[in-house]
A and B are shown apart, each in its own frame.
Chain A
Amino acid sequence: RKEVEQDPGPFNVPEGATVAFNCTYSNSASQSFFWYRQDCRKEPKLLMSVYSSGNEDGRFTAQLNRASQYISLLIRDSKLSDSATYLCAVTFAYNAGNMLTFGGGTRLMVKP
């Protein structure tokens, strides 16, 4: 079983829509959670960390559900510039070196 899984999409949404992605992780010994954004052939850019209490940054809201072992990312009022691949990343307590384990990414396409 893969450690971190995401629906690859693509999610095609109109401008202004609200869209949500989930990311499931297989191991309860998870420690830290992050959402990254990756544009085509570019580096992952940190979008936000995901805290147990949930957190919000402008149009973006991240939540963690430890019981069901998933994290979510909600994007409100989608912009054309939000079109990208969204990667979730998890660290596990059993890894000594704080390695990030990435999901395969969810592709979002926002259309006018």
Chain B
Amino acid sequence: EPEVTQTPSHQVTQMGQEVILRCVPISNHLYFYWYRQILGQKVEFLVSFYNNEISEKSEIFDDQFSVERPDGSNFTLKIRSTKLEDSAMYFCASSAGRNDEQFFGPGTRLTVL
């Protein structure tokens, strides 16, 4: 069964450093998403991406965040200058169509020290 994959599973970084989180969505899916979940809190939407551009982004997704689809398979989330409060699980998701079910990857646990 096809699945979304994410690397790394755990990333530890110093405050102010840049991080890039990587995702490989399900191969025939066209819509891609990033969500995050701070420990003990609800899953929060960050950004959606379709046809090589951002469709929607939340208030969390400020100028420190960017997304890219550098090739036909990868989908990345970059945080330019990490803050302590960026520590969270970051989940990538993909869906075949706009209103279709979204399938989540296993997540990257980001720890900012």
Question: What is A's interface to B at a CB cutoff of 8 Å?
Answer: 31-32, 34, 36, 38, 41-46, 49, 87, 89, 91, 95-105
Q: Once the chains bind, are A99 and B89 in contact (CB under 8 Å)?
A: no
- Assembly CA distance A99 to B42 (angstroms): 14
Q: Report which of A32, A42, A98 forms a contact with B48, defined as CB distance below 8 A.
A: A98
**Closest Cβ neighbor of A2 among chain B residues:** B42
Query: Which bracket fits the contact residues of B?
Result: 20 to 34
Are B91 and A99 within 8 A (Cβ)?
Answer: no
What are the 10 closest A-B residue pairs judged by CB atoms, nearest first?
A97-B56, A97-B48, A97-B55, A99-B45, A43-B104, A102-B43, A104-B42, A96-B56, A98-B98, A44-B104
**What are 16 A-to-B residue pairs whose CB atoms are below 8 Å?**
A34-B101, A43-B107, A45-B104, A46-B102, A49-B101, A97-B47, A97-B57, A98-B48, A98-B55, A98-B56, A98-B95, A99-B58, A100-B45, A102-B42, A104-B42, A105-B42
Cβ-defined contact, A98 with B107, below 8 A: no
Please report the C-alpha to C-alpha distance between residue A3 and residue B74 in the assembled complex, in whole angstroms.
32
